[in-house]
Chain A
Amino acid sequence: MIQVEHLTKKFGRIVAVDDISFRIKKGEIIGFLGPNGAGKSTTMNILTGCISASEGKALINGIDILEEPAKVKKMIGYLPENPPLYGEMTAKEFLHTVCDLKNIPKPVRKDEINRVMKRVGIVDVSGRLIRNLSKGYKQRVGLAQAMIGKPPIMILDEPTVGLDPGQIIGIRNLINDLGRDHTVILSSHILSEVQAVCERVMIIAKGKIIASDTPENLSQHLFGSNRLFVSVAAETAAVEKTVKSIPDIIEYQIEEGEEIGAVSVKMKAAENTDIRKAVFSAFAAANQPLLMMRPIDMSLEEIFLDLTSAEVEL
């Protein structure tokens, strides 16, 4: 569906997107994840034909965006970082204008606008000037704009920025919903969001894709269940002694626990080693009761920081 090959974009001397290639299948929900200025928006702007790439090409359904921009643009609904809204129009008028721009035939226009307004939940405010709407509603009008004409591909740049938690959940559900009949690309620098919505995550930093996988695989593959958190009812010094006696542990960190008389320990073993049994027996042998033991799942947040900061060190 979407095929990007060796895409590079330079702004003067700054390389915003550096030789990235990827493919997106029909019906996937893809998340672009990266810190601010990583090149997410630039990539999206190239895919939507707003700016041109310096090198490489982007094919949408096999059509090059540079060669037949009008055809490709019809297939894409785009919600940029700042929703492009005409403040002096009402939401409904604005959507009419968008229909004009997208060449939606007159007879189906009214139904199309009603369908989209219902789906994003802006029917109540459709007669109000966009200028006077709250940020959440503006975002939704922006989303409605992208949905007009049922484009098979939706590209959403930070769709939940500036929304309150309730609205964020609403938009997430909507995106999940859209994923059923659209290919969705969304970007975010908030990891939990990508984790909640996307089937595949591409982590972008400094214009390069540094990882691409499902959120689950990213957390498991890369880091496994080799990290444990335990809470022990014993003295700190004694616990440290026990921990040291366990082979395979590379790293550990002991802290005063939250419970009185308990110590909490975070430990890390070599990759692909399961230390749970060894930990249990060691503490049992030392007669130090384990109050709690759980694996530390590395959140996307940590993976992200890890990957991106590793990049910085290079």
Chain B
Amino acid sequence: MIAVYKKELKSYFYTPGAYIFMGAFLLIAGLLFSLQNVFAGDSNYAGFLSSLIFIFLLVVPILTMKLFTEEKRQKTDILLLSSPVSIIGIVLGKYLAAVTVFAATLLITMLYPLFLSFHGRMDWAQIWGTYIGFFFLGSAFIAIGTFLSEVAESQTSAAILTFCGLLASWIIDYIISFVPTSSMAGAIFILILAGAAIAVFQSKAQDWRISAAAAVIAIAAVCILYIVTPDMLYGLISKFIAWFSLTSRFQRFSMGILKLDAVIYYLSFSAFFLYVTGSRIENRRWS
């Protein structure tokens, strides 16, 4: 894993990748900082960091788009696969290299609050909280990007896919307020999810009897739930969608609250995407 990590980090700095990422991010961040904090004479640095999320969303694809697509194009994936490194090691090495470039960039922006601290009093707890939150949020973004880079065939498509994916996770918070919240809607939603799961099972296992039985059980279970405890189904869709909202969990960090559940959420979110990436590579070997 360390070998892949070192190699990936090298190639970030041997190619324009890291410089474009850092340059673009720091340029916009610097501009925003000057306008929002310096010229306005505002010492609310955490607010500035929160507004950086959107910019970060724009530049993450630059960081992750080449992770796997470039290996595929140069046919160097064979080198990694034929060397004594595990697939999880490959994925993790690449992911951590991208996270390192991101963390280094974040470290540079720490000059800003340092600069502000000469001129006013800073709420350091809040700033540290926001930075930690930002780091975990960014790592989760990078995990999505890593996964999509494995899925895509070219750097361009990887970048576009990643951008759309991150944008979707960002607007989830807005979507939530528009989805229906009634118990009936929740019941229908569960049935749709169950239907999709059964369809996937059917296409893999090709066994009608089990699928039909599962469908009957699912319908019965939902009916019972609906009759016995309709409250449980209330607002289910928005709760479900909220699981995927990366940014909503960030809010607490920017208030200076370090909550373990949010950290675990981000870590497991990243772990999930890295796991899926690894199993996709593994699957490709078998098919």
**Which A residues contact B (CB, under 8 angstroms)?**
11-12, 45, 48-52, 69-71, 73-74, 76, 78, 80, 82, 84-89, 93, 97-98, 100-103, 145
Contact = CB atoms under 8 A, between A and B. Distances in A.
B83 A73 contact: yes
A145 B79 contact: yes
B74 A85 contact: yes
Nearest to A81: B75
B82 A100 contact: no
A69 B286 CA distance: 14
B78 interface: yes
Given A82-B75, A87-B74, A100-B3, A48 B82 contact: yes
Contact of B7 (A82, A97, A145): A97
A51 to B, nearest CB: 5
Interface stretch (B8-16, B43-51, B125-133, B208-216): B8-16
B10 A93 contact: yes
A74 B7 CA distance: 19
Contacts of A45: 78
A86 B3 CA distance: 14
Interface string B1-25: 0111011001100110000000000
A73 B11 contact: no
Do most interface residues of chain B lie in helix, strand or loop, or is the interface mixed? Answer: helix
Contacts, number: 74
Contacts of B11: 86, 88-89
Nearest to A12: B287
Contact of A76 (B3, B10, B14, B82): B82
B22 to A, nearest CB: 17
B74 A86 contact: yes
Given A70-B86, A88-B14, A101 B79 contact: yes
Q: Which 10 A-B pairs rank lowest in CB-CB distance, beginning with the nearest?
A: A100-B3, A84-B79, A84-B76, A101-B83, A70-B84, A88-B14, A82-B75, A73-B84, A48-B82, A50-B81
B80 A101 contact: yes
B121 interface: no
B82 A97 contact: no
Interface in B10-68: 10-11, 14-15
B7 to A, nearest CB: 5
B285 A84 contact: no
Interface string B77-117: 11111111110000000000000000000000000000000
A100 B76 contact: no
Contacts of B14: 88-89
Contact of B78 (A12, A50, A89): A50
26 contacts: A45-B78, A50-B81, A52-B285, A69-B84, A73-B82, A73-B83, A78-B78, A78-B82, A80-B75, A80-B78, A80-B82, A82-B75, A84-B79, A86-B7, A86-B76, A87-B74, A88-B11, A89-B10, A89-B11, A89-B14, A97-B6, A97-B7, A100-B3, A101-B79, A101-B85, A145-B79
B121 to A, nearest CB: 47
Given A50-B285, A89-B10, A84 B84 contact: no
Contacts of A97: 3, 6-7, 10
